[in-house]
């Protein structure tokens, strides 16, 4: 809060006793999906970097959940860790430490799954975020965005991601993408269209891990 805001807040202070409080939730809910399928499981160390960034950036009162994307991801069992940080900063810091330990332990031995159910993970994330009271909701997909489903899994139906930001992070290029870059572009465009059709408030791709601040920055 800078000096100008400090001076501008004085009238707000005068209004505060008359119950002019801001009823909107200013908390931030973040659900991170980490792709652990196939060769992408080798990128787990980068996922830890992002989790660390989120833990360092999220404020008391915010929520964070980290889940795996496996063959079928529409399950609470895939959620590695979730926490709504206490509004007291000291307690929130303690929770963040415990969260980090849990994530460290979970990513120590990551075994690659056969299929990648990103849609199932998205539905799970949307449910988790909608149940919470966060004002800003973000789903981070740490994946190459190549969805692979087995024959019995059904995901080709419309999903709802209303008022949720969806950010794809570290979308690496596959061998086939290198042969024909249109595949990569097409994949991203396809996801963008699907997410926007689902009612998401924002779609973004962050591949440069030196600019992680773009993950939580609202456009």
Partner 1 sequence: MTFQSWMLWPDNVAVSVLLLAIVAMAFMYAARRPMHELFRALGHGLSAPLRLAARSLAAAATDIRFRNRAVLLAHGKQEVGQRIEREFERLGAIVTRDLQGYPTLQRKLLDEITKIEEDYKKCGEVPPPSPDWTEAVKAVANIKSTGNELVVKVLEEIKRSVANIHDKALTEYRKAYETRHRILEGFMPFWRSVDKNLAQVEKNVAALHASVSTVDAHMGKYEQISAGTDKAEHALTVSAFTQFAIALLVMTVAAGGAFINFKLIALPMSEMVGAGDYITSSLRTSEVAALVIIFVEASMGLFLLEAMRVTHLFPRIANLNEQLRRRMLWVAFVLLVTLAGVEAALALMRDMLIQDKQALLQSLATVQAAPTEGWVGRIPTAGQMLLGFILPFALAFIAIPLESLIHSARTVGGVFLIALVRGAALILRVAGQALRHACRILIRLYDIAIVLPLLAEQLVKRPRKRARADADDTEIQRTHA
Contacts with partner 1, residue ranges (CB under 8 A):
1, 3, 5-7, 9-10, 12-13, 15-16, 20-22, 24, 26-27, 49, 52-53, 55-56, 59-61, 87-90, 92-93, 96-97, 100
**Which lies closer to partner 1 via its Cβ, residue 55 or residue 166?**
55
Helix and strand totals (H; E) in the chain: 7, 6
CB of 14 to partner 1, least distance (A): 10
Closest to partner 1 by CB, 24 vs 151, is 24
**DSSP per-residue letters across 125-174:** HHHHHHHS--SEEEEEEES----B--SS----S----TTEEEEEE--PPP
Residue with tokens 């900063």: 89
For partner 1, give the closer residue by CB, 60 or 199.
60
Minimum Å distance from CB 70 to partner 1?
26
* Least distance between partner 1 and beta carbon 10 (Å): 7
The span from the CA of 105 to the CA of 45, in Å, is 12
Distance of CA 14 to the CA centre of its chain: 38
The DSSP call for residue 37 is: B
Tokens representing 78 are 């895939």
Measured from the CB atom, is 23 or 179 closer to partner 1?
23
The CB-of-56 to partner 1 minimum distance in angstroms stands at 5
Q: How far is the CB of 122 from partner 1 (least distance, A)?
A: 27
């Amino acid at each position: 809060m800078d000096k100008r805001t400090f001076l501008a807040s004085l009238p707000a202070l005068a209004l505060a006793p008359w119950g002019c409080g801001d009823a909107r939730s200013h908390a931030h809910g973040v659900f991170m999906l980490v792709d652990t399928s196939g060769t992408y499981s080798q990128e787990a160390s980068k996922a830890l970097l992002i989790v660390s960034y989120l833990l360092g950036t999220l404020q008391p009162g915010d929520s964070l959940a980290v889940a795996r994307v496996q063959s079928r991801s529409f399950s609470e069992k895939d959620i590695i860790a979730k926490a709504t940080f206490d509004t007291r900063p000291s307690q929130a810091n303690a929770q963040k430490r415990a969260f980090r330990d849990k994530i460290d332990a979970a990513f120590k031995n990551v075994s690659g799954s056969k299929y990648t159910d990103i849609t199932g993970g998205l539905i799970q994330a949307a449910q988790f975020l909608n149940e919470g009271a966060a004002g800003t909701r973000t789903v981070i997909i740490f994946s190459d965005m190549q969805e692979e489903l087995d024959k019995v899994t059904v995901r080709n139906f419309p999903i709802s991601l209303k008022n949720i930001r969806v950010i794809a992070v570290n979308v690496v290029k596959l061998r086939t993408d290198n042969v024909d870059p249109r595949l990569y572009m097409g994949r991203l465009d396809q996801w963008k269209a699907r997410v926007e059709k689902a009612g998401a408030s924002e779609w973004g791709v962050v591949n440069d891990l030196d600019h992680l601040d773009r993950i939580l920055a609202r456009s």
